[in-house]
Amino acid sequence: MNSIHTISTTPYLDQRPGTSGLRKKVKHFQQLHYLENFIQSLFDCLEGIAGKTLILGGDGRYYNQEAIQIILKIAAANKIGRVLVGHHGLFSTPAVSCVIRHRKAFGGIILSASHNPGGINGDFGVKYNTSHGGPAPESVTEAIYARSKKIDRYFILKADDIPLDTLGTHHLNETVVEVINPITDWAALMESLFDFSKIKALFDTGAFHMYFDAMNAITGPYAKEILEHRLGAGPNTVLNGDPLPDFGGGHPDPNLVYGKSLVTKMYRANAPSLGAASDGDGDRNMILGKRFFVTPSDNLAILAAHAHTIPGYRSGLAGIARSMPTSQAADRVAKALEIECFETPTGWKFFGNLLDAGKATLCGEESFGAGSNHLREKDGLWSVLFWLNILATQRQSVEAIVRKHWAKYGRNFYSRHDYENLPSDQTQQLIEDLRQQLPNLIGKQFNQHQITLADDFSYHDPVDQSITSGQGIRLCFEDGSRIIYRLSGTGTEGATLRVYLERFEPDPNQHGLETQIALSDLIQLANHLAQIKQKTHRIEPTVIT
């Protein structure tokens, strides 16, 4: 038996999980007892965890391996029954969610800072998911935070490291540590949802090609297994397929800015029919056709409109859920399908209750996230397979499918403008100033735009009746346009202001307009009302998606 040590510690006061877990710089996590304090605070809050099963793995970023060894030893000292760790310590976020559900685990720990850069100077993060497979709700994350402010000791086993590079079973005192293949369960789930033989037939025509850019992050091995091996997509389909600790120096965020190398390939004359990418931990997706970009908000609407053609969703959708800043394109599909569309605060955790209660089947966020009730996280490759299934059935281009959708439902022009790394105090003041203006804005007319609703979004969860307020400043106009302002809850440096802009256009003759042009008067108005230039001293956003 290895001995259990009780280590005295002092609390860190900054361990409050944000939109998606605790995220800090790697060096911040490497401070004395920092990770240990957080993990022990977590175990202290999980009543009845002794003897139970946990899933553990990360997106392979710098510090992943070391953190896993520390967590295993703390888990053993806290008498966790069994820990299932991904081979090489790797696990995508959706695969953890899948395995928690499939193996009926108590919960799972995911080591990732999602799309934030990695490497020694990059970011690291810890997320905890509960037994339904989804991110812990705020009641749990707040309890962990409260505990972390008081913690004065943690327990750790003095033992050798567990070899993570071979599959098999090990023991840390009474705790069983099983190194498992992290792809198996998730891949089987995908086969049960999508028509693999139809998709394979599409690739077999020889006329259909695709690229999947794994951005040197977690999805490389998953995409190779599914796309190249099971679906016959061809050996050079997966780009940047090896997970690297620093993601090859890139920013593993699949959007038009950080996914530029894929975008460039998709705009060449010889571009393939489909281009897709996923982020650091595999839960985001970007979908491109030949010279064509599908916005994530449109993506959700289009998946919903085609769901009845996909084996896993043939019986129809119970409802759709989208985060508040996501465009209202999905609402139009929900209306046509006569199902409910729920509007939740930003962050996947708010979808959990709706999925568990059977109120929603598909969920999505404007931030390149889509998923369904197949698990409790967004799932990047799932969205790609959904598209492949649509394309295999429709035998039309991505662009044709999207244009047909707009012609039927109208187009919601949509863009997000991010101002990154701003001074925190000033940026909070900007939001506060807007909040003060809200009562006076209702009914005001700006050019052809009249404001019909101006508030700070508050969500009433229809399942557990909890209320979450302060979720973003919302300006809604008579014609369905919206301007939304909120501060990011995932950044690790300064503050990030996000401005979301949306305008509905029913006329198909206007659908070809360039997005920033279609939104130009709303962009000006958004700047004017919040005085962005004056208050941030920035002349333009850092990232436009």
Q: Where are the beta strands (DSSP E) in 206-318?
A: 210-213, 238-239, 274-277, 286-289, 292-294
CB 170 within 8 A of CB 367: no
490 binds ligand G1P per the rule CB under 6 A: yes
Q: Which stretch binds ligand G1P (CB under 6 A): 194-202, 386-394, 488-496, 500-508?
A: 488-496
283 binds Zn ion per the rule CB under 5 A: yes
Closest CA to 377 of 290, 282, 238, 447: 282
CB 252 within 8 A of CB 125: no
- Residue 225 interacts with, from Zn ion, ligand G1P, none (CB under 5-8 Å by kind): none
Supply the minimum distance, in Å, between the C-beta of residue 108 and Zn ion: 15
Alpha-carbon Rg for the chain in angstroms:
23
- Residue 281 interacts with, from ligand G1P, Zn ion, none (CB under 5-8 Å by kind): Zn ion
- Residue 367 interacts with, from ligand G1P, Zn ion, none (CB under 5-8 Å by kind): ligand G1P
Q: Is the dihedral of CA 45, 49, 55, 60 positive or negative?
A: positive
Supply the minimum distance, in Å, between the C-beta of residue 385 and Zn ion: 18
379 binds Zn ion per the rule CB under 5 A: no
348 binds ligand G1P per the rule CB under 6 A: yes
Residues in 102-121 at the binding interface with ligand G1P, rule: CB under 6 A: 114
Select 474 or 498, whichever has its Cβ closest to ligand G1P.
Answer: 498
365 binds Zn ion per the rule CB under 5 A: no
Supply the minimum distance, in Å, between the C-beta of residue 347 and ligand G1P: 5
Q: Which residue has the tokens 């530029």?
A: 260
Cα separation of 430 and 534, whole Å?
10
- Residue 418 interacts with, from Zn ion, ligand G1P, none (CB under 5-8 Å by kind): none
Select 367 or 536, whichever has its Cβ closest to ligand G1P.
Answer: 367
User: What amino acid occupies position 414?
Assistant: Y
User: What amino acid occupies position 225?
Assistant: E
Give the residue closest to ligand G1P by C-beta: 488
CB 454 within 8 A of CB 472: no
Select 367 or 383, whichever has its Cβ closest to ligand G1P.
Answer: 367
Q: Is 3 one of the catalytic residues?
A: no
Q: Which of 57, 135, 345, 347 binds ligand G1P (CB under 6 A)?
A: 347
Select 151 or 495, whichever has its Cβ closest to ligand G1P.
Answer: 495
346 binds ligand G1P per the rule CB under 6 A: yes
Select 40 or 346, whichever has its Cβ closest to ligand G1P.
Answer: 346
- Residue 323 interacts with, from ligand G1P, Zn ion, none (CB under 5-8 Å by kind): ligand G1P
Q: Which residue has the tokens 């750790």?
A: 156
- Site size with Zn ion, rule: CB under 5 A: 4
Compute the residue count for the chain.
545
- Residue 488 interacts with, from ligand G1P, Zn ion, none (CB under 5-8 Å by kind): ligand G1P
Cα separation of 24 and 167, whole Å?
31
- Residue 346 interacts with, from Zn ion, ligand G1P, none (CB under 5-8 Å by kind): ligand G1P
User: What amino acid occupies position 3?
Assistant: S
Residues in 175-214 at the binding interface with Zn ion, rule: CB under 5 A: none
Q: Which of 213, 228, 281, 379 binds Zn ion (CB under 5 A)?
A: 281
344 binds ligand G1P per the rule CB under 6 A: no
Cα separation of 254 and 488, whole Å?
17
H or E segment and range at residue 515? helix 515-518
367 binds ligand G1P per the rule CB under 6 A: yes
Cα separation of 253 and 488, whole Å?
15
To 5 degrees, how large is the angle CA 19–CA 525–CA 324? 30
Which of these is catalytic: 114, 148, 372, 481? Answer: 114
Reading the block at residue 253, the tokens are 């965020």
Select 114 or 545, whichever has its Cβ closest to Zn ion.
Answer: 114
**DSSP helix/strand/coil, 502:** strand
User: In 378-497, which ranges are continuous DSSP H helix?
Assistant: 380-394, 398-409, 424-441
Closest CA to 500 of 513, 514, 486, 489: 486
Contacts (Cβ under 8 Å, ≥6 apart) of 358: 318, 373
Select 40 or 488, whichever has its Cβ closest to Zn ion.
Answer: 488
Q: x/- binding map, residues 98-117, to Zn ion, per CB under 5 A?
A: ----------------x---
Q: Which residues bind ligand G1P (CB under 6 A)?
A: 19-20, 114, 323, 346-348, 365, 367, 369, 488-490, 498
Show which residues are catalytic: 114
Q: Which residues bind Zn ion (CB under 5 A)?
A: 114, 279, 281, 283
